[in-house]
Amino acid sequence: MPVEDWRVTQWHHYLAEGRHAEMHYLEQHLEKRLNPKLLVEGARSVVCVALNYFTAEDFPADSYTLSRYARGKDYHDVVKERLQKMLNSIADLTGKAYVGRAFCDTAPVDEHYWAWRTGLGWLGRNTQLIIPQAGSYFFIGTLILTEEIDAYDAPQPNRCGTCTRCIDVCPTRALSPHTGLDARRCLSYLTIEHRGALPAFASQVLHPCFYGCDRCQEVCPHNRFSTPTSCTDFVPSQDLLKMTPNDWHTLEKETYQRLFKGSAVKRAKFEGLKRNIQQMQE
């Protein structure tokens, strides 16, 4: 049930080298992150599911953009609601009132590891879960169950081969073939989690995406399999897609609140979004 030794070592190196930047919550509850039994008493099984968030609707070519995952409703809410329904169904099937807990990026669960371990896909050099014939534009949901399951899936082999496209495209050299991701250099971390001014090396290469970064997914050859999601919650609103660069520069709090009501973008707060837009160099 605990994660395997190689993953434990990976986590210890990642934290010791400070590659988690200021995400101190990753240091806290590390033991729980490495062992679901410490998070869910009586845990016996892990089930992972993936929900596609790729949409056909996109920003026009001359617009500023946001990372794909942040264009619709907050995935925490959407995925959690579906997971809860799964839990309820499992409870009904077993006739038990409690069968475990549901997680989607809200607790110390090593979701990428478990998604790999449960056979959903492999972890690419861009650190994303890549699902064969489907790509990486997916949210991961995890159930930690107190029930045994009849048969468990085996992990998928890594199919990155000799490809290094994601490493080569990263404008801030945040990806290493040996150590993985350095959040201190990642635009996704810097535009969302980082507080204070953006470092110059980041603001120089942000344009046109001022929230998150999809470059290392966009170049991944396995994302040629992406197809539009059937989950309408992730479809961006026309109001969002119609925003011009000038609209973004003159964005006021009222419009921000309307555009991002119920969205994960609220994590960066209005001030954080304004900072990104103002510091983005064209």
Q: Would you please indicate which residues are annotated as catalytic (active-site) residues?
A: 105
Stretch that binds ligand SF4, among 32-40, 41-49, 186-194, 260-268 (CB under 6 A): 186-194
71 touches ligand SF4 (CB under 6 A): no
**Which of 78, 213, 240, 265 lies at the binding interface for ligand SF4 (CB under 6 A)?**
213
Given the complex with ligand SF4, which of 70 and 143 has the nearer CB atom?
70
Stretch that binds ligand SF4, among 30-38, 51-59, 105-113, 159-167 (CB under 6 A): 159-167
172 touches ligand SF4 (CB under 6 A): yes
Cβ 172 to ligand SF4 shortest distance, Å: 5
Cα 137 to the center of its chain, rounded Å: 9
What does DSSP say about strands 129-130 and 138-145: parallel, antiparallel, or unpaired? unpaired
Cβ 222 to ligand SF4 shortest distance, Å: 6
170 touches ligand SF4 (CB under 6 A): yes
Given the complex with ligand SF4, which of 101 and 215 has the nearer CB atom?
215
126 touches ligand SF4 (CB under 6 A): yes
Stretch that binds ligand SF4, among 25-33, 82-90, 100-108, 164-172 (CB under 6 A): 164-172
Q: Which two tokens stand for residue 199?
A: 């470092």
Cβ 52 to ligand SF4 shortest distance, Å: 17
Given the complex with ligand SF4, which of 23 and 219 has the nearer CB atom?
219
Given the complex with ligand SF4, which of 145 and 187 has the nearer CB atom?
187
3-state secondary structure 205-239: CCCCEEECCCHHHHCCHHHHHCCCCCCHHHCCCHH
Given the complex with ligand SF4, which of 122 and 248 has the nearer CB atom?
122
**Which of 19, 68, 71, 222 lies at the binding interface for ligand SF4 (CB under 6 A)?**
222
Question: Cα torsion at 223, 69, 121, 40 (round to 10°)?
Answer: 180
Long-range contacts of 97-102 (CB under 8 A, 24+ apart): 98/146, 99/145, 99/146, 99/147, 100/40, 100/43, 100/45, 100/143, 100/144, 100/145, 100/146, 100/147, 101/39, 101/40, 101/143, 101/144, 102/141, 102/142, 102/143
43 touches ligand SF4 (CB under 6 A): no
CA distances from residue 214 to 36, 116, 169, 187, 223 in whole angstroms, order as listed: 30, 21, 10, 9, 11
- Decide if 135 contacts 220 (C-beta within 8 A): yes
Q: How many residues bind ligand SF4 (CB under 6 A)?
A: 24
Residue 39 per-residue DSSP state: T
Amino acid making up residue 43: A
Q: Which residues are at the interface with ligand SF4 (CB under 6 A)?
A: 124-126, 130, 160, 163-166, 170, 172, 174-175, 181, 186-188, 213, 215-216, 219-222
